[in-house]
């Protein structure tokens, strides 16, 4: 059983065919439509499609003016891209520990690490679980810091009744094949800030401003555009977003029920402040369980699992370049060592969660029986 399978059907193929027939393969009308659909869904004035969530985050940092020597506070338990984009701006990633239950940014650790050199905050909606954005934005506001929400996994999740990606200054989504909807590769920035929107529009397209017949280049921008081919897939995916979200929550609920009596596993759930969409179903294992051996044993049983994600401070680059030591951020370190992602995707049959849990129980029993 695969960890995740994208939901791709005839509608996606039909819209791709429209793009091929038009001859307009680069950024064009399909991108504009995809942007409108995402903006309408989350309720922002602006949305900008990008080539990935990584480029969306990088573009956001550039738009708010992050530069050499600036400190950017980053949730530590995340894919390395969240920290890498700070480095690409020649800024300093200040890694913040996470809450041990939700895996999202620890607000008190955030407050402790703000200095006069702090210039922005990047919380992460980990695995589709919303960060506590109300408290994070309140702390950031006290120090005049923009908040760039890494909502890569969280299209459709909510925090305090608001769609993820919207409580901060900017929100960034991913459309990688493991996300709730996909364009193959792709990302999106959403914002209500008109000035930042103009800056993003400029920087996304090489820094060029369209004249009558050519461009006038006002900045050293990037080519971070999405193609109409990929945007066509995104349009079709947005049409079934609500259905995909509902099925994910249904399957996550079933997995939680089946695992409820296992004392060696803690299951994910909605946080007090919001609604989880279970982009990934990530459990936390007891210290007595060898997670890596469990992954190997489950693959032998034809059940694909993997780590949750990475503790940046445990990675060689962040240690060598920025002086971090393994275990320095204890909750993120524990999550990196003990988290396990189980299969969850809308096409799973109703009986598949029971198959996954039976294999997991067997593998854990083998370890505990030794």
Asked if 203 contacts 66 with a C-beta cutoff of 8 angstroms, the reply is no
φ and ψ at residue 113, rounded to 5 degrees: -95, 0
CB-based contacts of 238, cutoff 8 Å, min separation 6: 34, 37, 38, 41, 181
- Could you give the residue numbers annotated as active site? 179
Long-range CB contact pairs, 80-85, < 8 A, 24+: 80/310, 80/312, 80/315, 80/317, 81/53, 81/54, 81/57, 82/57, 82/122, 82/124, 82/150, 82/312, 83/312, 83/318, 84/54, 85/54, 85/57, 85/58, 85/61
Dihedral class, residue 46 (left if φ above 0, else alpha if ψ from -120 to 50, else beta): beta
Q: Report whether 342 contacts 291 (CB < 8 A).
A: no
Distances (CA, A) of 129 to 122, 132, 194, 276: 15, 9, 28, 4
Handedness of CA 15, 20, 21, 26 (dihedral sign): positive
Cα–Cα distance for residue pair 281/277, rounded to 1 Å? 9
Dihedral angle of Cα 289, 247, 78, 146, to the nearest 10 degrees: -150
Give CA–CA dist 338/363, Å, rounded. Answer: 15
- What is d(CA 254, CA 350) in angstroms, rounded to the nearest whole number? 9
Nearest to 31 by CA among 235, 300, 201: 235
Look at the block and give the residue holding tokens 């890569």.
152
DSSP for 326-343 reads TTSSHHHHHHHHHEEEEP
Residue 181 is classified by DSSP as S
């Amino acid at each position: 059983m695969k960890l995740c399978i994208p939901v791709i059907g005839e509608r996606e193929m039909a819209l791709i065919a429209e793009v091929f027939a038009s001859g307009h393969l680069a950024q064009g009308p399909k991108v504009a439509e995809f942007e409108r659909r995402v903006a309408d869904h989350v309720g922002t004035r602006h949305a900008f499609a990008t080539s990935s969530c990584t480029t969306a985050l990088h573009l956001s940092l550039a738009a708010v003016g992050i530069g050499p020597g600036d400190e950017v506070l980053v949730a530590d338990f995340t894919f390395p891209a969240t920290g890498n984009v700070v480095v690409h701006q020649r800024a300093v990633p200040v890694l913040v520990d996470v809450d041990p239950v939700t895996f999202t940014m620890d607000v008190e650790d955030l407050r402790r690490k703000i200095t006069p050199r702090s210039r922005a905050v990047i919380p992460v909606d980990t695995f589709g679980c919303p960060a506590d954005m109300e408290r994070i934005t309140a702390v950031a506001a006290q120090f005049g810091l923009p908040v760039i929400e890494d909502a890569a996994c969280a299209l459709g999740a909510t925090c305090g009744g608001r769609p993820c990606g919207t409580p901060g200054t900017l929100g960034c989504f991913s459309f990688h094949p493991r996300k709730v909807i996909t364009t193959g590769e792709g990302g999106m920035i959403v914002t209500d800030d008109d000035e930042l929107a103009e800056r993003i529009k400029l920087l996304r397209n090489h820094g060029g401003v369209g004249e009558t017949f050519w461009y006038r280049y006002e900045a050293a921008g990037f080519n971070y555009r999405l193609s109409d081919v990929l945007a066509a897939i995104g349009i079709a995916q947005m049409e079934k977003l609500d259905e995909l979200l509902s099925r994910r929550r249904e399957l996550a609920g079933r997995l939680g029920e089946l695992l409820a009596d296992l004392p060696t596993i803690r299951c994910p759930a909605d946080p007090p402040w919001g609604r989880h969409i279970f982009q990934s179903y990530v459990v936390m294992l007891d210290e007595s369980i060898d997670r890596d051996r469990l992954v190997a044993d489950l693959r032998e049983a034809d059940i694909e699992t993997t780590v949750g994600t990475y503790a940046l401070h445990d990675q060689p680059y962040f240690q060598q370049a920025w002086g971090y030591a393994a275990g320095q951020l204890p909750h993120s370190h524990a999550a990196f060592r003990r988290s396990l992602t189980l299969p969850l995707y809308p096409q799973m049959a109703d009986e598949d969660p029971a198959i996954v849990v039976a294999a997991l129980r067997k593998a854990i029993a083998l370890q505990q029986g030794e």
